[in-house]
Structure 1
Amino acid sequence: MLRTILIVDDEPGTRNGIRKTLELWADGRYRVECAANGVEAAEWLERDTAHLLITDVRMPEVSGLDLIRLLEGRPDRPASVVISGYAEFEYVQTALRLGAVGYLLKPIDKEELLEMTERALKQEEERHRAEKLARLVDPKLFAIKEEEFRPGGPVGEVMEYVDGHLQEQLTMADMAAKVHLNASYFSVLFKEEAGIPFSEYVTRRRIQHAKQLLAQTRLPVGQIAEQVGYSTDKYFIKVFKQLEQISPSRYRSEMAEYY
């Protein structure tokens, strides 16, 4: 699907000039859309996705600042560039604080427009890439620091064993016996040192490894399920969805463009 640039300006001359310049530059690589005012743009953004928003900073009813605020917090929010006159620099400063990549002064110079567009699209792509790749990392596992555990301590020893034997059945009783501890005591000790229960650690390590396999290989989901210790792909998919709020196949398709 083509990435989309949305141009918003209530001055037809400015709006159409930007559109023509970008369409010629894009040469079919991007979809270029227009909205005649902020209200129209807000409605467009409710039903569609833009990768770059180029908007006049001041418009009646819904301003460019309103549009940028509207998109705050959205996972698919576009990069934004604002258009302004010399007397509107206070608005530009606000837009920059809200995360706008930069601004264009009227009358708009074509070279500056294209330079800003390329810079904004590159930043948007890098941000989304970083956000997608961050999904490979489980935040709770990331928070567990190796130095928190005593050298050769039972919790660290069990974690190391689990990480290397995800295909196997890993019960707390077996792991406690492996480090010569009572199962009840080991359960309390593991949660105290790791911050999460043993069973949750095993689940998160399995799903973490599954995410890596989904992103970096073309192995079937059923085979990945087996490699991370699940006897059925149905149960694996259920657990994966509970942790990631997305199915393994959907996760794979969303990560595919980065591998």
Structure 2
Amino acid sequence: MRNRTILIVDDEPRSREGMKKMLASWASGAYELLTADNGFTALSIVEETAVDLMITDIRMPEINGLSLVAQMKDKRLARQPSVILISGHAEFEYAQQAIQLSVVNYLLKPVSREKLIAAVEDAIKAGEERDRIGLMRKMADPQLMAVAGGEANLSDPVKSAMQYVDEHMGEAVSLKEVADHIHLNGSYFSTLFKEQSGMTFSEYVVRRKLQKAKEMLVKTNLPIAEIAERVGYQTAKYFNKLFKEYETMSPGQYRTEMNKADTEIQK
């Protein structure tokens, strides 16, 4: 597991090394501290290294801090760092641009040790929360998300059918069973469900079961065979086949990948 990385960008040596020294005593080796004396070097570093937090001065020659952040966001980086901007001048225009660039904090020089460390801790927490949200989005099925987003447009029978699927997650739910439950003709219910959800009822059931399985793969240490049973599949072999078809990887690979990502967030 890698250490988290903080990049300090400032063209003034005393300021740059001063911040590094303050953070070094606070970090106690838990963070790798990198420095750059200009924006070009900083861009090279974030392209080659997974930087968690960048602290940059605004007023620098050639590429100023605001331009550096804007250029960094335009790049397809493996990781977009959280950003703290530092300025020697309280200029409202800087603060406005910082907000537009989603900068997490804006500090004025001279920066005290207490304010710097407080800002760094807040920025790291914000980055972790952003990563957790990203992880949840990665876990979420986009088609189920689309259905949930348009829930207000779903009819009561379709909502009842979806609720029935959730309440019988550990069972093999059939279209006829659900149609009977909501007192609709099977053919009519099938057409209604597809019109409103954008997928067949059977596809919805599979996606909903696999979504539940993904949550258990990440949040529990249950064996894959037991997870398959808990979402209504009697054989792990068939569950594995369906999972790979929808997620392009096996349940075991998915668990490994997602747990690795979660460990990086918590580290």
* C-alpha distance 196-125 of structure 1, shift in aligned 2 (>3 A): same
| Equivalent residues in 2 for 1:1-259, closer than 5 Å | 1-72=2-73, 76-86=79-89, 89-135=92-138, 137-138=140-141, 139-143=145-149, 145=151, 148-150=154-156, 153=157, 155-172=158-175, 175-176=178-179, 181-230=184-233, 231-241=238-248, 247-255=254-262
Distance in structure 1 (CA, Å) of the matches to 2:214 and 2:196: 25
Distance in structure 2 (CA, Å) of the matches to 1:207 and 1:75: 28
The worse-fitting range, judged by mean Cα deviation, of 230-239 and 117-126 is 230-239
Greater length-normalized contact order (CA 8 Å, ≥ 6 residues apart): 2
The one-letter code sitting in structure 2 at the alignment partner of 1:140 is A
Distance in structure 1 (CA, Å) of the matches to 2:115 and 2:136: 31
* C-alpha distance 18-172 of structure 1, shift in aligned 2 (>3 A): same
* C-alpha distance 178-88 of structure 1, shift in aligned 2 (>3 A): closer
CA displacement, residues 121-167 of structure 1 (integer Å, 9 cap, x when unaligned): 222223323443455554235325389433xx3x3443233223344
* C-alpha distance 149-226 of structure 1, shift in aligned 2 (>3 A): same
Where does structure 2 lack aligned partners over 5 or more consecutive residues?
none
Q: What TM-score, normalized by structure 2, do the two folds share?
A: 0.78
Distance in structure 2 (CA, Å) of the matches to 1:63 and 1:133: 35
Identical columns (%): 41
Q: What SS does the corresponding residue of 1:86 show, helix, strand or coil?
A: coil
Please state how far the C-alpha of 1:227 moved relative to its aligned partner: 3.1
CA displacement, residues 71-102 of structure 1 (integer Å, 9 cap, x when unaligned): 43868322211121227553343123211122
- Number of aligned residue pairs: give it: 252
